[in-house]
Amino acid sequence: MVVATPMPIQSEKIKEVGLPTIDLSFDRSEVSKLIVKACEEFGFFKVINHGVPLDVITRMEEESLGFFAKPAQEKQQAGPANPYGYGSKNIGFNGDVGEVEYILLSTNSASISQRSNTISNDPVKFSSAVNGYIAAVRDLASDILDLLAEALWVPHKSVFSGLIRDVDSDSLIRLNHYPPLIKDIFEDGDTSLPHHHHPNNRIGFGEHSDPQILTLLRSNDVGGLQISPEDGVWVPVSPDPTAFFVNVGDVLHAMTNGRFVSVRHRALANSNRPRMSMAYFAAPPLQANITSLAQFVSQSRPNLYRSFTWAEYKKATYSLRLGDSRLKLFRLVEEDHEIASLQHQTCFKH
């Protein structure tokens, strides 16, 4: 499917770039090197042959679509999101808005069971679908993190994956629904509108990085996702419902002392068809201590961040707007964009 490239907003530059696609069925040592390279260059990649069963994805998608098809009054009974539950338009706690409605859930099965009563007419079926999906994507995320650890020769293979496999992991799942454009309001050919009002530029979910360790995103065949590998540049991500998109979060950025890029991204509601995505945010337990691993710190690359608990960092995410840089609050040294992502920028420009 061909998706029209959205018009740039103000001084933004839209750049078509071949983003990494990694086949997880290939040789493990080769795959691990490719994942490291993708995390350094983009903080983002696509995985195929990922092993998540199609029926698990289909059940989760059907339950999600069933909920979003309900009348607004019924959906609102599952909200407001505080933080869990149903939300619409209002994304964060500090005035962030977008053309999106969503369900945010803890990955704790007891919490899911309780929330299901207000979300579904068949709570047991909904809970079963969500728990099955979470188990499958957690396994996938853990395997990706283990591949990273193997390639980096870290002392303990589970240094990353152990955080999300922990029984007290604070991971989340968010189901996003971006309604289609209303043609009665905007005509596709109307170029007289200001850029920020143009229908192809409706912000579904504004620019941000994910605070957690890793995000696994699955979406339908409707485009809208964009990543920003350098300031002012946006790269459209072609939709692929058979794949998972993976991006590095702030915690992994900090643990690798900035070697892996916590990629900024956004979603545009830019289609005549609804877009739906399912995002799994792999997070550590609240009391987990996050610090740069020793092998990523040297005289030439001093420790950029002080140690912090995930609870501290999570609190910071709630105190700021969606697009604000939270890691700045934990810096030990002044981190220029060039220092933090020198290797990433060099790779991108060449």
Other Cβ atoms less than 10 A from the Cβ of 162: the count is 17
Which pair of tokens denotes residue 93?
């706690």
**Of 115, 275, 301, 306, which is the active-site residue?**
275
Other Cβ atoms less than 10 A from the Cβ of 95: the count is 9
Which pair of tokens denotes residue 268?
């545009």
Backbone angles phi, psi at 178, to 5 degrees: -105, 110
The answer for residues whose C-beta is within 8 angstroms of residue 6's C-beta and 6 or more apart is 14, 200, 201, 236, 268, 270
Which pair of tokens denotes residue 135?
């188990």
Told to judge if 59 belongs to the known catalytic residues of this protein, a careful annotator would answer no
Backbone angles phi, psi at 11, to 5 degrees: -95, 10
Torsion of CA 15, 348, 43, 176, to 10 degrees: 0
- Report, as residue numbers or ranges, the catalytic residues: 275
